[in-house]
Amino acid sequence: MDKINEPGNSILNLCVDELCGNGSNRGYVGANVMLKAPDSWWELSPEDQIEITNGCGPEAIEPVVPDSLWGLSIEAACRIHDYCYREDVDCDKWEADYMFLHNMIELIEQGSWWLRVPRLHVALGYFKAVRKWGRKRGH
């Protein structure tokens, strides 16, 4: 996947840019969607990305936590978040959780305008859940 250094139009860019440093954590996913992830994520093949992550929610309750919000897939945001929670990835919990929120908002902003509010409401619930109950592996 190609790297891009131009900021997206997300309302969280300033916060996430400060969090991630000089923007080296930006990557291009497609359709003008700018997702944040550690540089090492973009070096993985799509097959490896899928193999080492499971999407939204812990595996035990994965069916209860969908990978989509009102029909919009947020699976990429969830997989990057899973990756950031690995103990061998240089990304602390705070950084991983805020990157997750940024990525969900970035995906939501690309979807239908009339579903943005309900999608943002559910995304905020996902974010609150990982802030409260999420655990980095090895911690």
Q: How does pLDDT run across 69-103, given as a tens digit for each residue?
A: 999 999 999 999 999 999 899 899 999 999 999 99
Q: CA geometry: angle at 99 spanning 129 and 79, to 5°? A: 75
User: Which domain range does residue 112 map to?
Assistant: 44-133
In a domain, 62, yes or no: yes
User: Do the Cβ atoms of 115 and 72 come closer than 8 Å?
Assistant: yes
26 in a structural domain: no
pLDDT for res 87: 87
Confidence class for position 62, pLDDT limits 50, 70, 90: low
Q: For residues 24 and 84, which has the higher predicted lDDT (pLDDT)?
A: 84
Mean pLDDT of the chain: 79
Q: Residue 27 falls within a domain, yes or no? A: no
CATH code assigned at 74 = 1.20.90.10
For residue 3, being part of any structural domain is answered with no
pLDDT at 124: 97
Does residue 99 lie within any of the structural domains? yes
Structure tokens at 135: 């655990």
- Provide the β-strand partners of residue 36: 26
Question: Does this model's pTM top 0.85?
Answer: no
Q: Helix, strand, coil: what percent of the chain each, to 5?
A: 55, 10, 35
What is the length of the chain? 139
